[in-house]
Amino acid sequence: MPAVSFQSVSKTYTTPKGPFHALSDVSLDIAEGEFFGLLGPNGAGKTTLISILAGLARATQGRVLVQGCDVQQDFAQARRKLGVVPQELVFDPFFNVREALRLQSGYFGVRHNDDWIDELLASLGLADKANANMRQLSGGMKRRVLVAQALVHKPPIIVLDEPTAGVDVELRQTLWQFIARLNKEGHTVLLTTHYLEEAEALCGRIAMLKNGRVVALDRTSELLKAASGNVLVFKTDSALPAALAAQARVTGRVVQLAAHDAQDIERYLTTLREAGVDVQDIEIRRADLEDVFLSVMAGTSASNLAGSAVAVPGVGAPATAAPGRPKQGAAPLGGSEDTAVPGVGAPATAALGRPKQGAAPLGGSEDTAVPSVGAP
């Protein structure tokens, strides 16, 4: 029995402009113990899907089972199995951290839970904040409390809706270390994120949503294999020759060109030299999940990926690209590949520790990278 089973889930909202299909016939199963990633641009339907799973919204059609329990008919059982970290940084200003956790525990019928609450507080670095009012906490601290609240009733399945949005590096590490530990101990994890390096490092399997449909669903390693090209990265102040401009992804001074093989790279360099373009900091790196993501989002279906080498970055995503994604820390040639599916344990945190100085990278940039997709 899958931990979570979405069966032909559709969600239609009535809006003044007519019906809006937030989700169309989404079916996917998440197995026990999986670390599953749900990716997609803003408005793709990730949060709607999670809301339906959590009982915050109702599916217009289809159904969702949590370890066999229907989230509508058998909502109490289903919700006991789920620990949901909401996307919004919400808190109840009337209570301190320990009170909030005790209350949340009590709603699930779990009393005398202080041992576990203490353990949660310690694991999340909140021990000294137990008696602080929620209002006094920083954003990062509030985020940790949200995680603690989701876990207070010891759910077997943990759902994290963009848990690291606007969170500093240190907290991200703590958080992922903790979540990875829980996953190792057997918890199923469902994660949505805009940080594709995180998804690449942590998730064993990934679904990509676009306009409410599943457009890719596979093991992370397979998705990466499908995009098994390299990417030529360099910086320049000059304009690119027309032949290259069409397929390049340009981010400020940084230009990225997809390359299937060494010949492609030679051809690019020759073209650049002939055009007299002054090029600096040349690197060749392996295509990563972000390249896969952009390629999938640019196409209309997952079939783009099936033809393996066809799925290369830059093809569909024209020169507009994303502002904040320079990836300055990117190691040349395949630096990220080895961290791709690390089985989520200790290596994961090491991978996440990579500074990636562009720190604000994918979150906001996606909108600009795939402008047409996020509507409305």
- Which residues from 169-228 bind other proteins, rule CB under 8 A? none
CB 145 within 8 A of CB 167: no
Counting residues that bind other proteins (by CB under 8 A) gives 33
Token pair recorded at residue 46: 């990730």
Exposure on the CB side of residue 273, measured as CA atoms within 13 A: 6
Among 75, 140, 310, 331, binds other proteins (CB under 8 A): 75
Nearer of residues 109 and 276 to other proteins, judged by Cβ: 109
**Cβ neighbours of residue 370 under 8 Å, at least 6 residues apart?**
41, 294, 297, 298, 317
- Which residues from 3-62 bind other proteins, rule CB under 8 A? 13, 51, 54-58
Token pair recorded at residue 296: 């999938």
Minimal distance, residue 11 CB to other proteins, in Å? 9
- Contact mark string toward other proteins, 137..166, x via CB under 8 A: ------------xx----------------
Among 109, 186, 355, 376, binds other proteins (CB under 8 A): 109
Cα separation, 7 vs 30, in Å, equals 11
Token pair recorded at residue 366: 């996606």
Nearer of residues 72 and 357 to other proteins, judged by Cβ: 72
Closest to 9 (Cα-Cα) out of 36, 54, 49, 69 = 49
Among 5, 47, 67, 104, binds other proteins (CB under 8 A): 104
- Contact mark string toward other proteins, 78..97, x via CB under 8 A: -xx-x-x-x-x-xxxxxx--
Q: How many CB atoms lie within 10 A of CB 92?
A: 13
By the rule CB under 8 A, 77 interacts with other proteins: yes
Cα separation, 332 vs 266, in Å, equals 17
Residues that bind other proteins (CB under 8 A): 13, 51, 54-58, 75-77, 79-80, 82, 84, 86, 88, 90-95, 99-100, 103-104, 106-109, 111, 149-150
